[in-house]
Amino acid sequence: MKGVVFNLLEEAVTRSFGPEVWDDLVDEADVSGAYTSLGNYSDDEIVQLVAVAATKLSLSPSEVLRWFGEKAMPILKERYGALFVGHPSAKNFVLSVNSIIHPEVRKLYAGAACPYFHFKTGEEGATLMSYQSSRKMCDLAHGFIKGASKLFCEEVDIHHLSCMNHGADRCLMEVKWHQ
């Protein structure tokens, strides 16, 4: 996993709980804690950090990933504002992830293994989003969508219809946008 993800997690934790909590998470997870945005790090390190955070906060790892995604979105906008330009809504922004956002991520961070999302329109205008990745971090994507909706001052409902973390071969989410 690219170091930029670890940097976002550190910033989200530090902003919400303070730098000493980040240091505690790093110590308890027994990971290096020194991440450069261009570096590549084992997926196991993010899994360990999330597991320790879940224990400390009495949350599930899924809840921690959702929290992280939501808190990371404003940080992403601060750091990479150009990715948000020209998007009139959260839905428009999220639907551009494969064609605009992830290609830019790959330019900035060579070797980034970004997940690929499949989108189609469901009932009543909902978006069906399919996610398949060996990382099984659909809850992080869920949090990013929530965070994007907040940035655009919109409401969104997200329902997981199937999930790799519960034995399915892919994750499928129904995303209902309220503008």
pLDDT digits (tens, 9 = 90+) for 74-92: 999 999 898 899 999 999 9
Q: Map tokens 């060996």 to a residue.
A: 134
pLDDT digits (tens, 9 = 90+) for 12-29: 999 999 999 999 999 999
Give the DSSP letter of residue 166: G
Predicted pLDDT of residue 109: 54
Picking from 15, 125, 108, 123, the residue whose alpha carbon sits closest to that of residue 67 is 15
Work out the widest C-alpha separation in the chain, in whole angstroms: 47
Mean pLDDT (the chain, rounded): 89
Would you say residue 102 has pLDDT above 60?
Answer: no
Question: Which residue has better confidence, 110 or 12?
Answer: 12
**Residue 133 DSSP SS3:** coil
As a whole number of Å, the end-to-end CA separation of the chain is 34
Would you say residue 107 has pLDDT above 70?
Answer: no
Predicted pLDDT of residue 28: 96
Q: Which domain holds residue 105?
A: 3-178
Give the DSSP letter of residue 96: T
Percent of the chain with pLDDT over 90: 64
pLDDT digits (tens, 9 = 90+) for 45-85: 999 999 999 999 899 999 999 999 999 999 999 998 988 99
C-alpha–C-alpha distance, residues 128 and 94, integer Å: 12
DSSP codes, 34-60: ---TT-B--HHHHHHHHHHHHHHHT--
The CATH number that applies at residue 166 is: 3.90.1520.10
Our count of domains for the chain comes to 1
